[in-house]
Every structure is written in C-alpha cells, then in structure tokens.
Amino acid sequence: MHKDQHLMEKLSMLQGTTRCRLLSGSMVLMSIFFLCGAAVNAQSEYKETISVLQSLHQDEMQAMHNYQAYARKAVSQKYPNIAKLFMTLAASESVHARNFKACLAKLGVAAEELPQQPLKVASTRKNLKFAIAVELEEIDRKYPQVLKQIKPENHKEAIQFITYAWESEKQHRELLKRIQSGTGLFFGLLTKRIEGNPYQYFVCQNCGSTLSEIPASTCPVCGGPAAKYAEIKLDFDDDVADEKHPYK
C-alpha cells in the first residue's frame, strides 16, 4: 500500500515537472513569436524609415573611409593640421553610422554590409574642395529631403539621430569654410598659416557634434554633457576607426 502511494506521488511529481517544462517551453515560444511579430510589424510600419537609415549608414561609412584616406594624403604632403581636420570629420561620421546602425537594430533589421566604394584620393587641395562640396550638398539637400521623407512614419529616434547628423554636418561646414577660400590660387599661403598654429578638434561621442573647443556645459547638438566630447588625435596606428569604436 505504501509502495503504491509512493509510486503515485512520484508519478504526480513527474507529471507536474513535465507540465512545468511544457509551460516554460510554450512561454519561450510565445516570446519568440511575439518578438518576431513585433519586428515584422515594425518593419512594415517603418518601411521608409528603414530604407533611409540603411542608405544613410552606408553613406556615413563611405564618408568615414574617404576622410581617413584624405587624412593620410594630407600627412604625406606635410599638412598635419589639415589631416587632423579630416580625421575629426571621419570620427564624426563614424558616430553617425553607429547611431543609424543601432536604430536599425531596434527595428529588428541588420545594417546592410555593402562593399566599400573605391576611394578617390587626389591632392589635399582637391580633397578639400570635394569635401566642402559634399558637406554643402548634404546640408542643403540630402538631410532636409530624408527628414521630410520619414516624417509621416514619425519614428522619433530615427528623426533624432538624423537631426543630430544634420546639425553636425553644419558644424563640418563651418570648420571647412575657414579654409574654403584658400583651395584655389592661394592654397600655399593658406597652408602656411594653418600649419603654423596648433589645432585641436573634439567630437561628441553621443551625436557626432564637431567643435574646435569643448563647450562650457552641454553639447549644442544633443544636449549631452560636455564630458562626452573626445579630442581627436592624429594616430593612424589606433585601430578604432569604425562605427562601434569611434576615434578617441
């Protein structure tokens, strides 16, 4: 009698354990289905936003590689201060790329890893002229256009990150405008003036804001603490030039 009762108790415990395992497994499956469903819904709801973020991520990565190459060229032509400016712009673009990639991940989408476009590196004078033209095009046309494009979907974080990038590009323009007038006949005189003085550049690791001095209190673009700014060093051996680890 006691043996039968003991067996029944064991059987009951086993059934209870099995039910718990089944219930636990069902909850895991339900969670997976829920997450998948949420990701599918997000991709459907924010289709235009995802497309824009993918394109911007690729553009920022390409810009980062371009500016890195321009910096190396400037160093080879004995223009270390101009090289530092190019490295600073590369650092800012890497922050933008990281932000766009993170936003895509939250939408359940992996950033597309497309082959890098061939780098077109000319003389430092020509590289500066090209960089100025690109920055002006982005400020005047690209960013206003994409913000208008995704406005109906109203994904707040995507709008925020794109606005950060737009405001940072305006800062890039101001830094480049200092040397814009010298990219023609007077380039030699200009470089003597630039290279004759020490330059410092700082990039906010939160939004990519780019300044020649650290703000007194908060970042003028994202409102984050001034401690988020990192000085950009002219160091090609420091392997941190990607969207996961921006320049420091």
DSSP string spanning the chain?
-HHHHHHHHHHHHHHHHHHHHHHHHHHHHHHHHHHHHHHHHHHHHTHHHHHHHHHHHHHHHHHHHHHHHHHHHHHHTT-HHHHHHHHHHHHHHHHHHHHHHHHHHHTT-PPP-PPPPPP----HHHHHHHHHHHHHHIIIIIHHHHHHHHGGG--HHHHHHHHHHHHHHHHHHHHHHHHHTTSSTTHHHHHHHHHTS----EEETTT--EESS--SSB-TTT--BGGGEEEPP--TT----SSSS---
State the pLDDT at residue 208: 98
Reduced 3-state DSSP string for 141-172: HHHHHHHHHHHHHCCHHHHHHHHHHHHHHHHH
The Cα 29–Cα 183 span in angstroms is: 62
State the pLDDT at residue 241: 42
Do the Cβ atoms of 247 and 92 come closer than 8 Å?
no
The Cα 243–Cα 79 span in angstroms is: 26
The Cα 175–Cα 172 span in angstroms is: 5
Domain residue spans of the chain: 45-231
State the pLDDT at residue 71: 95
State the pLDDT at residue 142: 94
State the pLDDT at residue 234: 81
- Residue stretches of the chain with pLDDT short of 50: 28-36, 38, 185, 238-248
Beta carbons within 10 angstroms of residue 245's beta carbon: 13
Task: Tell which CATH architecture fits domain 45-231.
Answer: Up-down Bundle (1.20)
Whats the size of the chain, residue-wise?
248
pLDDT, tens digit, 9 for 90 and up, residues 213-229: 999 999 999 999 999 99
